A and B are shown apart, each in its own frame.
Chain A
Amino acid sequence: MRRQWFSRRSAPSVTHTRIRALRCPDSSSAGPDGREVSRDDRTSDALSGHLAEDIDSIRSVIGASGDVVFRPFELFDGRPAYLVYISGLSDEQQIDSDIFKPLTKGGTTVHSYTANAPADLRTIGDAFVTAGSTEQVATLEEALHHVVVGLQVLLLVDGEPHGLAISIGGGEQRGVEEPETEAVIRGPREGFTEDLRTSITLLRRRIRSTELVVEFRTIGRYTQTKVALCFLRDIINPSLVDEMRQRLDRIDIDAIIDSGYLEELVEDNAFSPFPQLQNTERPDVVASALLEGRLALISEGSPFALIAPIDLWGALQAAEDYYERYPIVNLIRWLRYLFMGIALYLPSLYVAITTFHQEMLPTKLLISIAAAREVTPFPALVECLLMEVTFEALREAGVRLPKTVGSAISIVGALVIGQSAVEAGIVSAPMVIVVAITGIASFVIPRFSFAIAIRMLRFAMILAGGLIGVFGIVMLTVAVVIHLSSLRSLGVPYLQPVSPFSRSSTGDVVLRAPQWAMRRRPEQTSRQNVRRQSAAMAPDQRVPRSKRNT
């Protein structure tokens, strides 16, 4: 009875086994009775070699869909043949030039061994078809797999007990664009796309090393989503890769629509408000993570790659921190720390101090707040929650609405919250200021998923502060710190390198050390290969040898 909703879906009934096996070839191969259903057992699946029969059996499975194209034609040696593919996913022009032209009489001019010795499928694939890759398939199941999952073109020729799966590629895709969620002023402007191949290409272009490993696996019984596990073999701690492999292999789900599905399925603590995997659209961010000994998951159909393990401090580091010179980056980073504190604490402190600890305010400020609160009807706690919830709603509306309506909403919101509410005496002006500053502050955090955690905790802080004062805020903070110190991302402590302390990797926590000073990689993730660079670029090494004072 306990944990029922965690348990796997009960096994399907016996009658559905075959069809499920057909449609989802890679799904769990254990039957309901635990018997192994290996591929060799299904000889009844084998293609017969009679074209009409094979086409009929394919049609019986996927023929109901209007977008599946069955295209009969005559091979150059006179045999009837069929092309089966899904329209739109393979480039028609390329099918024309790579398959029809070389294989039909209309396209071929001279074939030395034509009519008398019919070409077998292997010859056709090796000698005639000009597409990139071909593969022979022997069973109906394989054939369907290549058409539906591999999005390839299937060639069936009468008299051949095999089919030929031809990769054509093409189809509609979004181009490489600048990621909107992580814009930079200075730095690369390309972002991952929904196409896995493109995304991996972008990554490969940044790390041209034989040590870059890209492991594929397919997850999702219906979606058959390809997921790439990327890491740098000689930097990463191998146990991290093993851990992630195990977690991926554990997944048994019907669909992976976006990498967000993966994140929830592989994270360490499913109940924590803090994200334990970082999502990013930027290939440069993934590349630098790999170089720090982290690993990345890129999934087909999602422009968001996942990075693990991560730590808390990384949440306040933007990609641009490493592209701009370090002095300003340090100042900006401190600003982020400050505003993270404001985003988390300001409303709760305001409520706690004005209702419990009025002596903490300077007298004049107390009088100003008292004057502003003179006419407001609600207690400070209610007022604060009211405003914060309204602000969250406004933000949500701004995100969801079409862009053209978005500006109207922000104007209405600003007028309603900012001015009318104060003039009508529903809320006090200091509260509006507090909520506004808090709102700005939460946008300063570069990692959106982390900002969400702060936003959620802010409400808990407001309640704690409003019910038991600063004492409550401190208690909740202690609880959050305890939670953070027990939290792990892929087994690596979330607060490292501060706790557990590692001297060599703290250069990137509060400070952003200059590039030449960051000589070592983070130790927790890259213990086997921590040296990043030599000391040759240190400022004293740049002085001409004759002018050095030794």
Chain B
Amino acid sequence: MRRTVTALLLCAVCLVNTGCWDSTEIDRLAIVPMTGVDLAPDGHSVLGTLQIIRPSELGTAGGGAPATSTGSPDTFIVETEQGSTNVDPLSRARAKLSRRLFMGHRRVIVIGEAYAREGMGGLIDEILRNPSSRLRTYLVIAHGATAQSVLQLAYPLNRLPSDAIVELEQGGTALEMDSRMFAESLAGYGDPSAPGLDVVPPVRENEAPSFQLDRIAVFREDRLVGWLDGPQSDGYLWILGKLKRKDVTVAIPGHPGAVSARIGTTRSKRWVTWAHGNPQLNIDVSANFDVTQNTTDLTFTTPAEVDLLKSAIANHLRNHMAQAMNALQKDFQADPLDFADAVYRSAPQRWRQMQPQWRQVYKEAAVAYSTHVHVRNTGLLSTLLPHTTSNAPGRVQ
């Protein structure tokens, strides 16, 4: 009996003496939703920027509405430090903060363009090694700006700007790229890419600037070499099959006006065939569309008319994809679509011979596009309307 009691007491004392090593009360954490990486002015060290949440501004202790309104920059504070590695600035910032830095909820890393052009290897190494970094952290490259300036921005529709970036990346109109995917494409024979962030100047005078994701940063190995935007960016997403939510507007030759169609499901495939020892890059995209507006004189009630629309959309897609491929092959000689891996898989021996001069081969490789466009819902009701005037608003001339 005495032995049992002694044993139990010893165990109890052990528990008390732990001091709860790892335990941190949630109100002693400095939660970091987003960090930024920039090249320091000296050209070789790293400027790390942290965004830290102020929870009291985001929620309430006693009930009722939170203290600040959505889109307020009061919900976070920003700290910037310089250091020789990516971790160094964090440890310097730690000394300035009363709370423990908590990186477990970092969802976004913003990378300044200057830093990206110097090479992302150091950052990716930190993300892969550091256990407190999440592999699912999204990467965003700031176009023509520093991460430090981007992290100061609030986003008018989300309480935290990091949420806005995540939702934009997942929204189906931008490229979705997290650190794991980035590291994977670095590890393969191809090159990585990442969404590019643009700072949008305010429309009205007293408004704060905001941001949007509408371009794509193209890397050669880990260095940023250029940007795809506009049709190139769309074409790139078409080839990846990642464009989910977008309306395509096309003109049909011989019929004045335009037709808008919404993307339903898309699927894409890339593979390599060989012609006279040279690789030919094949891109196959199939997509479903619903017609959302029609200002032409066509009613799409006959297969022939629908075929006209199909071929117009197919041309549109092919045009955008060709622009993207052209930029990638000719301007950047970058291969973010991983054709290198496709070549390797298709003919490993040839790949080994070809590898040293791959960039040149890639630049000159022919590209074959095939598109399968299906138009499902063309809409019948509006054909009953009397013919509308040709200069009614909403018409695309």
What residues make up the interface of A, taking CB atoms closer than 8 Å to B?
Answer: 2-3, 354-356, 358-359, 363-364, 366-376, 379-380, 422-423, 425, 428-429, 463, 466-469
Contacts and interface: CB of A to CB of B under 8 A. Distances in A.
Interface stretch (B16-24, B304-312, B321-329, B382-390): B16-24
B1 A3 contact: yes
Contacts of A423: 62-63
B29 interface: yes
A380 B23 CA distance: 10
Interface string B55-80: 11011111100100000000000000
Nearest to A355: B23
Nearest to B20: A467
B62 A358 contact: no
Given A3-B1, A367-B53, A467-B15, A374 B104 contact: no
Contact of B22 (A356, A369, A379): A356
Nearest to A383: B25
Interface in B285-314: none
Contacts of B134: 359
Contacts of A463: 15
B105 A366 contact: yes
A368 B159 CA distance: 12
Secondary structure of the A side of the interface?
A: helix
Contact of A367 (B18, B22, B23, B59): B59
Contacts of B1: 2-3
Interface string B316-335: 00000000000000000000
For B18, B22, B27, B163, the residue with the greatest tally of chain A CB atoms inside 10 Å of its CB is B27
Contacts of A379: 25
B107 interface: yes
11 contacts: A354-B26, A358-B26, A358-B104, A358-B105, A363-B105, A368-B58, A370-B53, A371-B61, A371-B66, A463-B15, A468-B18
B104 A370 contact: no
B60 to A, nearest CB: 6
B358 interface: no
A373 B27 contact: yes
B25 A372 contact: no
B163 to A, nearest CB: 8
Contact of B61 (A355, A356, A363, A372): A372
The range of chain B's interface size is 20 to 34
For B26, B53, B62, the residue with the greatest tally of chain A CB atoms inside 10 Å of its CB is B26
Given A372-B59, A422-B63, A425-B62, A366 B20 contact: no
Interface string B31-55: 1010000000000000000000101
B102 interface: yes
A69 to B, nearest CB: 52
B20 A374 contact: no
A126 B56 CA distance: 91
A366 B15 contact: no
Contacts, number: 96
B20 A367 contact: no
A375 B26 CA distance: 11
B160 to A, nearest CB: 8
Interface of B: 1, 15, 18, 20, 22-27, 29, 31, 33, 53, 55-56, 58-63, 66, 102, 104-105, 107, 134, 160, 163
A365 to B, nearest CB: 10
Given A425-B61, A467-B18, A359 B104 contact: yes
A370 B56 CA distance: 8
Contact of B25 (A355, A364, A468): A355
Given A355-B24, A363-B105, A425-B61, 20 more contacts: A354-B26, A356-B22, A356-B24, A358-B26, A359-B104, A363-B107, A363-B163, A364-B163, A366-B105, A371-B56, A372-B59, A373-B25, A375-B62, A379-B25, A422-B62, A423-B63, A428-B61, A466-B20, A466-B23, A468-B18
A258 to B, nearest CB: 29
B107 to A, nearest CB: 7
Secondary structure of the B side of the interface?
A: loop
A518 B145 CA distance: 72
Nearest to A353: B26
Contacts of B27: 370, 373-374, 376
A72 to B, nearest CB: 60
A375 B15 CA distance: 28
Nearest to B107: A363
Nearest to B132: A359
A467 B105 CA distance: 23
A370 B59 contact: yes
A363 B55 contact: no
Contacts of B29: 358, 370
Contact of B55 (A371, A425, A466): A371
A12 to B, nearest CB: 28
Contacts of A354: 25-26
Enumerate the 3 nearest inter-chain pairs by beta-carbon distance, A residue then B residue, closest first.
Answer: A371-B59, A359-B104, A370-B55
Contacts of A467: 15, 18, 20, 23
A469 B23 contact: yes
A126 B58 CA distance: 92
Nearest to B60: A371
A405 B31 CA distance: 47
Contacts of B33: 363
Given A358-B104, A371-B66, A380 B15 contact: no
Nearest to B61: A375
Contacts of B26: 354-355, 358, 366, 369-370, 373, 380
A225 to B, nearest CB: 32
A371 B60 CA distance: 6
For B23, B56, B134, the residue with the greatest tally of chain A CB atoms inside 10 Å of its CB is B23
For A363, A376, A380, A467, the residue with the greatest tally of chain B CB atoms inside 10 Å of its CB is A363
A539 to B, nearest CB: 42
Nearest to A369: B26
Contacts of A468: 15, 18, 20
A368 to B, nearest CB: 5
B39 to A, nearest CB: 29
A488 B365 CA distance: 76
A162 to B, nearest CB: 54
Contacts of A358: 24, 26, 29, 31, 102, 104-105
A29 to B, nearest CB: 33
Contacts of B18: 467-468
Given A466-B20, A467-B18, A366 B31 contact: yes
Contacts of A469: 22-23
A355 B20 contact: yes
Nearest to B16: A467
Nearest to A463: B15
Given A422-B63, A429-B63, A370 B22 contact: no
Contacts of A2: 1
A246 to B, nearest CB: 26
B55 A374 contact: yes
A373 B61 CA distance: 7
B299 to A, nearest CB: 48
B61 A367 contact: no
B179 to A, nearest CB: 15
B139 to A, nearest CB: 17
B22 A374 contact: no
B23 A372 contact: no
Contact of A374 (B56, B63, B105, B160): B56
Given A363-B33, A367-B55, A356 B23 contact: yes
For B61, B105, B160, the residue with the greatest tally of chain A CB atoms inside 10 Å of its CB is B61
Nearest to A374: B56
A369 B163 CA distance: 17
Given A466-B20, A467-B18, A467-B20, A367 B58 contact: yes
A2 B1 CA distance: 7
A288 B238 CA distance: 67
A510 B322 CA distance: 59
A372 B20 contact: no
A172 to B, nearest CB: 47
